[in-house]
Amino acid sequence: MGFRQHKFGSAGIGLMMGFSMSITLFFPSFDFRSGVSTWVGLDKQLSAGRLIGFSYEDPLVRGDGKPVTVILDKDPSTGAAIDPPIRAYVYKPGTPFSPGINHTDQLGLGVEELSVNVGKINDAKPGDGIVFTIVKGEFNGEELDYVENATAVRGWTVDKVLSSVGDDAKRFVGAGKTIYITEGCWWCHTLLPEETQDWQYFGTPPYLGDFNGEMPTAFGSDRKAPDILHVASRNSSREWMYMHFFNPRLVQPNSIMPRFDYLWAPIGKGPSDARDASGASIDFPKWRAEYMTYLKGDSIYPPDVPEPAADSQVRALVDWIMTSLR
């Protein structure tokens, strides 16, 4: 009996392996373009730029070499008002492009045609410094969002766009998303509200086309903490985010989330470079001594959380949360 079961088992396994092998063999004929990029999908990949691999040695994985997302409420060339404001994705010379620019078929049917023929994205070369934006167009009677090379189409150069706005219009979304991945936030959080029971609190789930060209997808697998796909819609306070990242126990006394106070260091630098907005290095032992005094009840206020510097990792992380997670 046991032997017969064993024989049947190996035949069954052989069949299943044969079946999955044929899926693997036929898979290349599957048309990737059946998933057409949405605005969210285009925004995600343009703001993240090239996102690859899991090696900590790779500068791209440490948040360097990323585009800057700029919120534009006026045309950098003509000065005309843009209402509602739009996003421009600024790729300084040498910043690697996002996957859909390098491999346009990843954009999906219609989005590819519009982006190449009208948006002129094939004219863009990484060495030049390029500004992209997302615009609406029509393909076969359907309205689609597509990518435009705004440097070629509108004359928006990198310098023109960057000098037309203040610091608060610059969002280091790509670097911030990279920090989410390298810090392993996804061990606890998800970016994927699940069907039905989640929707009321965490909001709507993503569409298939939101993932075109995204690598890694980072929607997470296990949830020990709230889903944060739409966290900026329920909590838009940067102040709260900075307190929570510096020490989650400041706002949630029993939080299991780790401290991320070392993210006060500039992008690409290590924890020992943590400093505040004035450039002064942060005195962690002093801060903790004051915090302990507060925990013991000997002081009614916790110590202040240092203001992050404009080039800090935590600013980029909060930029990503506030700009992409809506």
Q: Confirm if 223 and 190 have CB atoms less than 8 A apart.
A: yes
Q: Which of 40, 162, 257, 282 binds ligand HEC (CB under 6 A)?
A: 257
Give residue 37's identity as a one-letter amino acid code. S
**How many other CB atoms are found less than 10 A from the CB of residue 229?**
24
Q: Which of 233, 252, 281, 299 binds ligand HEC (CB under 6 A)?
A: 252
- Footprint of ligand HEC on 64-103 (CB under 6 A): none
Q: Could you tell me which of 209, 191, 218 has the C-alpha nearest to residue 100?
A: 209
**How many other CB atoms are found less than 10 A from the CB of residue 284?**
14
Q: How far is the CB of 147 from ligand HEC (least distance, A)?
A: 27
Q: Which of 229, 243, 317, 322 binds ligand HEC (CB under 6 A)?
A: 317
Place of tokens 């990949």: 45
Q: Which of 256, 277, 280, 310 binds ligand HEC (CB under 6 A)?
A: 256
Say whether residue 180 binds ligand HEC (CB under 6 A): yes
CA distance 39 to 115: 13
- In degrees and rounded to multiples of 5, residue 58 shows phi and psi of -75, 120
Say whether residue 36 binds ligand HEC (CB under 6 A): no
Question: By C-beta, is 19 or 187 nearer to ligand HEC?
Answer: 187
Say whether residue 274 binds ligand HEC (CB under 6 A): no
CA distance 122 to 154: 15
Q: How many residues does the chain have?
A: 326
- x-marked contacts with ligand HEC along 181-200 as a string, rule CB under 6 A: --x-x-xxx-----------
Q: Confirm if 161 and 76 have CB atoms less than 8 A apart.
A: yes
Question: By C-beta, is 120 or 238 nearer to ligand HEC?
Answer: 238
Stretch of 2-10, 13-21, 130-138, 248-256 lying at the interface with ligand HEC (CB under 6 A): 248-256
CA distance 220 to 241: 21
Q: Which of 129, 226, 268, 303 binds ligand HEC (CB under 6 A)?
A: 226
Q: Which of 90, 175, 231, 267 binds ligand HEC (CB under 6 A)?
A: 231
Q: Which of 258, 271, 286, 299 binds ligand HEC (CB under 6 A)?
A: 258
Interface residues with ligand HEC (CB under 6 A)?
Answer: 180, 183, 185, 187-189, 224-226, 228, 231, 235, 248, 252, 255-258, 260, 317, 321
